[in-house]
Chain A
Amino acid sequence: MDMLEFVVPELDFRAILPQIILAITALTVLLTGVFSREKKGPAIGFLSLAGVALSFSAVVFSGSQTVSSFSGMLTNDSFARFISMIVCVVALLTILISINYRKISPAINSGEYYCLLLFAALGMMFMGSAGNLLMVFVALETMSISIYALAGFQKQREKSIESALKYFLLGAFASGFLLYGFALVYGATGTMDIVKIGRFLNDHPLVVHSPLLLGGVALMTVGFGFKVAMFPFHMWTPDVYEGAPTSVTAFMATGVKAAAFAALIRVFYVALGSLQVDMTQIMWVIALLTMTVGNVVAIAQSNIKRMLAYSSIAHAGYLLVGFVAGGELAISGMLFYLLGYAFMNLGAFGVIALLAKKDGEYTELSDFAGLGFKYPAMGLVMAVFMFSMAGIPPTAGFMGKFYIFTAAINSGFIWLAIFGVINSVISIYYYLRVIVTMYFKEPEQDIVMLTPTGAIILALVIAAAGVLFMGILPSSVLDIARNSTTLIM
């Protein structure tokens, strides 16, 4: 019976206060959804908004100490807190977009929708702070399963169902790869704890190149690569992004990417730091291909949601450049980029969500013709988001790319940085095409009437302000990102 001795783990509930708040809000929202008579009002949305705001303040005021709690299952370091902040920002803006989007798609205005959204955010937060491979997996599944369901929320739209099914089947497959990879790494090192794996590999250099460990690392790369839309595993992105409700697409493109990159950084830098030299040689090529494929294929797209899907692949490529570069500067650059990307992408999808109507979504590029002059404010913010994605100063996208490419050059990856810049130049073509269509093309059909509400206006203003603030005064955010690169080793 000795082996079954149960030890109560050390518990620190303050360490997971933001997550507890999110979970309680999610359950409350679920019950409010079924018990309230008022089905059309935005009350549920505002309730979830309050929960996320509370959770955000819990993250901000949780201090700056670095603690490992729940027997090493969770590591609350400044890195995890930064990721939690990104997740809160993403959830906040997504809820604001959804409150407006409910008019187009009434199914979205339900307790289930917001409950799943909050649980997905919860999973993302746990991914950022997971200190154990098992915890990474559980958090990843919490996030993914919620999002599979969210993608298919417009049950009447065939594309939405297709998107959910494709994402679910491929995502489950990728999760299997990831889990099998974890199992092999566990077999090679004898522990699931990320920090302990790192120490074990430091002490046993012979294990580092054992086939068992390398096989595990390869499978893990596949699993994570799927979630961040890395080059050979990016095929699902356009279909899923196009079919999912626009508010969900915005959430997927930003939140999932931030969470998956967080787990990728922690697992590969802390646990597999000994393999970094070998990894960079492979990731170098993958980063280059991810950027190039994303940008080149995006040129050919006429549907703006598909275009943004390919652009999100390209952005994953830029982030991988940072991943290859490694080191403190690169991590802070990636964190900066993830936050900036969250602002600009949520903003762009917010504008697309604003264009949607009951009879369908206006996502063709030609639907944007003439919009710039009819709705100058909307045209202006969309232009800001597109400039930022293309990496034109003074926007967050420019500063993010600047930091990442600087880190790449400092680490000696000059060619990769050059290819990154070339890719940015390619991307300018299709980002500017949106702006050109908005301002210089004559509309072929009637211009879509926009009916913005306070919520979406607030979302777009926050996103645009975030993009410009991070572009004009980047040092304030970068300082926080710099202080967030300490991972528990």
Chain B
Amino acid sequence: MLTNYIPVLVMILVGVAFGVFSVVVSSNLGPLRRFKVKKEPYECGMKTQGATYVQTPIKYYVVALLFLVFDLECVFMYPWAVHYKKLGLFGFVEMMVFIAILFVCYLYVWKKGALEWE
């Protein structure tokens, strides 16, 4: 039974070996030039400015949370959509119940003022 896992073991070994190999090779072969930009967290991309301790409005938190909830709703819909024809009326009703429950939450969030920025 354990022999089934040999491919997994091989995969792990190859993965580790590849990681070690590339780090060792690049650190030995690559030219080492130290200057200021090299030490920055994001070498390429936008220039960093200011300190990292910037205050972020707490509202972002609520928005992120709501996004997550309604985004996950879509995740549940994908498999449902794939099997939509097979599930027939039953599947349709079930999904409508699910959406109805989420709609109640949406109404709640709306009425509570979580969607207003000010």
Contact = CB atoms under 8 A, between A and B. Distances in A.
B78 to A, nearest CB: 13
Interface of A: 6, 8, 27, 30-31, 34-35, 111
A6 B86 contact: yes
Contact of B111 (A6, A8, A34): A34
A425 B87 CA distance: 62
Interface in B76-108: 83, 86-87, 90, 101, 104, 107-108
B90 to A, nearest CB: 6
Contact of A31 (B87, B90, B107): B107
A34 B112 contact: yes
B90 A8 contact: yes
Given A27-B101, A31-B107, 16 more contacts: A6-B83, A6-B86, A6-B87, A8-B87, A8-B90, A27-B104, A30-B104, A30-B108, A31-B104, A31-B108, A34-B107, A34-B108, A34-B111, A34-B112, A35-B111, A111-B108
B16 to A, nearest CB: 25
Interface of B: 83, 86-87, 90, 101, 104, 107-108, 111-112
A382 to B, nearest CB: 39
Contacts of A111: 108
Contacts of B101: 27
B113 to A, nearest CB: 9
Contacts of A34: 107-108, 111-112
Contacts, number: 18
Contacts of B111: 34-35
Nearest to A35: B111
Q: B-side binding surface: helix, strand, loop or mixed? A: helix
A111 B107 CA distance: 13
B72 to A, nearest CB: 15
Contacts of A35: 111
A27 B106 CA distance: 12
A215 B104 CA distance: 43
Nearest to B91: A8
18 contacts: A6-B83, A6-B86, A6-B87, A8-B87, A8-B90, A27-B101, A27-B104, A30-B104, A30-B108, A31-B104, A31-B107, A31-B108, A34-B107, A34-B108, A34-B111, A34-B112, A35-B111, A111-B108
Nearest to B104: A27
Nearest to B110: A34
Nearest to A34: B111
A39 to B, nearest CB: 13
A452 B16 CA distance: 70
A33 to B, nearest CB: 8
Q: Name which of B86, B104, B107, B108 has the most chain A CB atoms within 10 A of its CB.
A: B108
A299 to B, nearest CB: 45
Contacts of A30: 104, 108
A31 B90 CA distance: 27
Contacts of A6: 83, 86-87
Nearest to B112: A34
Contacts of A27: 101, 104
A30 B111 CA distance: 11
B50 to A, nearest CB: 33
A6 B90 CA distance: 13
A111 B109 CA distance: 13
Contacts of B86: 6
Per CB-CB distance, the 3 closest pairs between chain A and chain B, nearest first, are: A34-B111, A27-B104, A6-B83
A30 B104 CA distance: 8
Nearest to A8: B90
B116 to A, nearest CB: 14
Nearest to A26: B104
A34 B110 CA distance: 10
Contacts of B83: 6
A30 B112 CA distance: 11
B36 to A, nearest CB: 42
Q: Name which of B86, B101, B104 has the most chain A CB atoms within 10 A of its CB.
A: B104
Contacts of B112: 34
A146 to B, nearest CB: 15
A65 B107 CA distance: 39
A188 to B, nearest CB: 14
Contacts of B104: 27, 30-31
A202 to B, nearest CB: 23
